[in-house]
Amino acid sequence: MPERLLLTDVPPDYGDARAEYHAVRERAGIVDRSGAGVLEVTGKDRASFLHALVSNDIKALAPDQTCGATLLDIHGKVQLTLLVWSMTDRIWLITPPGTAAFALEAFDKYLFSEKAFFADVTGDVALSMVAGPHAAAITERVAAELTGADVRRAPGIGDTGGPEMWIAVASADGARAWQASIDAGARPVGATAYESLRIEAGTPLFGRDVDETVLLPEIPTARLLSHSKGCYPGQEVVVRIRDRGHVNRLLRGLVMEGPAVPERGADVVVDGAVVGRVTSATPSIGLGRPIALAFVRRQHAEAGAAVGVRLRDGVAAARVSDLPFPH
């Protein structure tokens, strides 16, 4: 699978990554999400059709509510991660960059007589996410001030570890909505600050931390999974693991004990034996040291466990952490 980046064509920072990070933690920052795909689902069976296919409870969503979800194969492995955005007359599926066509084909395979109609509207919609304690107030102001534009707002699912609001407008109004958010107090957030925020929050990135080799129970599922919603492809495996078994590895945090930031794919080792691999790493602005997400074998995944991470010039000491990372 080719690597898919969450922030497409976004600069590493807008001049001061540390200030961008603290804007999200203390006030509000705005993240460009225009690289994401958008599938629009209409028809009277849209909610029930999606509910039967993905891992979270779609029928429970009221208009202008969202949830995270995954599409699994019959073996419980993640084929796609989604943000599901319910509206009065439609549902949007926000997909990772570069995956809208794949998602459209994947859902189409399950369509028979259901009244659910899919359209790829990626090019028609401009998306951004305002994150931080002031996100709701800022997006409310943008919606009031953007006269003549159809502004849609919905809460996010905590990718950055705090309050979030998504804003969607027609592509032609995207620049206006972005500037209106800045004028209302949101600071633009680039990839450097966002990586620190999302890794600290323990948010796995599809195509980097999660792909079709990953079982859903191997990653944090609180925002992605309902255990009471009923059947969907892969559910039997997920329930069997929950009730009668375990997975052999888990996505965990690593706190590096030195200044080096490990490369993606770096081995995690214990006594010279490989027990995992790094999937994402960054200098943490909030923790003041490098951190990483890594798959770690279950026997070594307890918080506080000592491990090593192979670098180009040796092995660096690290400690396993719960997700999200404690501050």
Q: Domain locations in the chain?
A: 17-200, 248-327
Q: In CATH terms, are 17-200 and 248-327 the same topology?
A: no
Res 3: pLDDT: 40
Res 1: pLDDT: 34
Q: Quote the tokens at residue 300.
A: 């070594």
Tell me the Cα Rg of the chain.
20
Res 268: pLDDT: 98
Q: What is the pTM of this model?
A: 0.95
Alpha-carbon distances, residue 208 vs 98, 167, 213 (angstroms): 13, 25, 11
Look at residues 108, 77, 111 and name the one whose alpha carbon lies nearest to residue 219.
77
CA distance 301 to 217: 14
Res 194: pLDDT: 96
Q: Quote the tokens at residue 96.
A: 């990772």
Tens of pLDDT, residue by residue over 278-297, are 999 999 999 999 999 999 99
Tens of pLDDT, residue by residue over 223-232, are 999 999 999 9
Res 245: pLDDT: 86
Q: Residue 81: phi, psi to the nearest 5?
A: -110, 150
Residue 6 has pLDDT above 90, yes or no: no
Tens of pLDDT, residue by residue over 199-258, are 999 999 999 999 999 999 999 999 999 999 999 999 999 999 999 989 999 999 999 999
Give CA angle at 282 (279, 288), nearest 5°.
140
CA distance 223 to 236: 19
Percent of the chain residues topping a pLDDT of 70: 97
19, 187 contact by CB (below 8 A): yes
CA distance 3 to 8: 12
Res 11: pLDDT: 80
Tens of pLDDT, residue by residue over 133-187, are 999 999 999 999 999 999 999 999 999 999 999 999 999 999 999 999 999 999 9
CA distance 99 to 271: 40
Q: What dotted CATH number matches 248-327?
A: 2.40.30.110
Averaged confidence pLDDT in the chain: 95
Tens of pLDDT, residue by residue over 100-145, are 999 999 999 999 999 999 999 999 999 999 999 999 999 999 999 9
Res 8: pLDDT: 52
Question: 17-200 adopts what CATH topology?
Answer: Gyrase A; domain 2 (3.30.1360)
Instruction: Please tell me whether residue 73 adopts helix, strand or coil conformation.
Output: coil
